[in-house]
Amino acid sequence: MKASDFLTLTAQSIKAAAKMLLQSRPVVKAADRASAPEIIILANGPSLNQTIAEHADRLADTPTLAVNFMANAPQFQQLKPRYYVLADPHFFVGLEHDNVKSLWGNIAAVNWPLTLFVPRTRLKIARKLLANSQVRVATYNFVGIEGFAWLERLAFSRGWAMPRPRNVLIPALMAAISAGYTRIYITGADHSWMETIRVTDDNRVVSIQPHFYTDSKAEQLRSATEYRGYRLHQIIDSFRIAFESYHHLQRYATAAGITILNATPNSYIDAFPRTTL
């Protein structure tokens, strides 16, 4: 290892230790533990429609994990996911938005057992919004770190931290691992944002993140407003962090004997072996 790389890892590890000391706390673990090794993660990319159409029986017979606004889509009732992960602060501080209200209402109305994972700091909000004995709330530390491989393995295995979570797929994968699954399939993770990003004539960066469902006009406006003010290099750097985090997670999974397979057609993620359902 080069001296410069060692110094970088040392600095990252010191920062990671400080973050965990200040921010990480004991979590509420999922009571619904894995009874079989396999789980399928349903990310919200446009290819999920193809996956659902071609593999409906497989999705019905295997535990699934949903994320973000899937509860507002008809496929939520069709697939009845066993787990759900929310990460974006918008789901907890944007409660006045119709899309967010619908999300919580749909989760609260499920008639099947569902474990909802939320950041540890959002536990009280989640419990306040959910009055359904079918829904159990689990938590995770929304603390992103990087550093020496041994430190990452220790922190990830104890639930103290995770790879830098620039995308909900990171906490979703960590949630599946924490629930005891050892063979994880990823679907709907197109991550093809670079195909849609553009810069207008007034130097405003437009980043479209398509989903398998159609976003409401209000959600489209919110997303566009959120990106306003960001420069192209900042957005591309955020993409870089997301893709790099998957490699950190793959390194941890390999060491822990966990198999993560990307079953998303034409996915941009290059960290996990490819497969099909």
Chain segment 81-91, per-residue pLDDT in tens: 999 999 999 99
Question: What is the C-alpha to C-alpha distance for residues 93 and 141, in angstroms, rounded to an integer?
Answer: 18
Question: What is the C-alpha to C-alpha distance for residues 239 and 191, in angstroms, rounded to an integer?
Answer: 9
Exposed/middle/buried for residue 78 (C-beta within 10 Å: 0-12, 13-18, 19+): exposed
- Residue whose C-alpha is closest to residue 263's, from 38, 71, 80, 88: 38
Query: How, if at all, do strands 205-206 and 198-199 pair?
Result: antiparallel
pLDDT at residue 216 in the model: 65
Domain that holds residue 115: 3-262
Least confident of 72-81, 85-94, 163-172, 201-210: 201-210
Least confident of 62-66, 150-154, 191-195: 191-195
Instruction: Report the range out of 159-163, 206-210, 223-227 with the highest average pLDDT.
Output: 159-163
Q: Are 275 and 262 in contact (CB under 8 A)?
A: yes
Question: What is the C-alpha to C-alpha distance for residues 272 and 166, in angstroms, rounded to an integer?
Answer: 17
- Residue whose C-alpha is closest to residue 138's, from 186, 179, 168: 179
Q: What is the mean pLDDT of residues 194-210?
A: 86
Q: What is the mean pLDDT of residues 49-56?
A: 96
pLDDT-derived band at 275 (thresholds 50, 70, 90) equals: very high
Q: Is the pLDDT of residue 110 over 70?
A: yes
Asked if residue 161 belongs to a domain, the reply is: yes
| Total domains, the chain | 1
User: Both tokens of residue 148?
Assistant: 């020496």
- Measure Cα distances from 211 to 63, 176, 208, 220 in Å: 22, 22, 10, 11
Question: What is the C-alpha to C-alpha distance for residues 100 and 161, in angstroms, rounded to an integer?
Answer: 26
pLDDT at residue 176 in the model: 98
Q: Is the pLDDT of residue 115 over 70?
A: yes
Q: Is the pLDDT of residue 54 over 90?
A: yes
Q: Is the pLDDT of residue 196 over 80?
A: yes
Of 182 and 218, the structure prediction assigns the larger pLDDT to 182
Give percent above pLDDT 70 in the chain. Answer: 95
Asked if residue 47 belongs to a domain, the reply is: yes
pLDDT at residue 222 in the model: 65
Of 229 and 47, the structure prediction assigns the larger pLDDT to 47
Asked if residue 237 belongs to a domain, the reply is: yes
Q: What is the mean pLDDT of residues 144-161?
A: 98
pLDDT-derived band at 72 (thresholds 50, 70, 90) equals: very high
Q: What is the mean pLDDT of residues 121-141?
A: 96
Q: What is the mean pLDDT of residues 195-199?
A: 88
- What 3-state class would DSSP assign to 234? helix
Asked if residue 88 belongs to a domain, the reply is: yes
Asked if residue 115 belongs to a domain, the reply is: yes
Asked if residue 174 belongs to a domain, the reply is: yes
Q: If you average pLDDT over every residue of the chain, what do you get?
A: 93
- Residue whose C-alpha is closest to residue 184's, from 115, 109, 119, 272: 272
pLDDT-derived band at 211 (thresholds 50, 70, 90) equals: confident
Asked if residue 275 belongs to a domain, the reply is: no
Of 195 and 1, the structure prediction assigns the larger pLDDT to 195
Asked if residue 268 belongs to a domain, the reply is: no
pLDDT at residue 10 in the model: 97
Q: Is the pLDDT of residue 229 over 90?
A: no
Q: What is the mean pLDDT of residues 39-68?
A: 96
Query: CATH number for the domain including 250?
Result: 3.90.1480
Tokens 């220790």 sit at which residue? 154
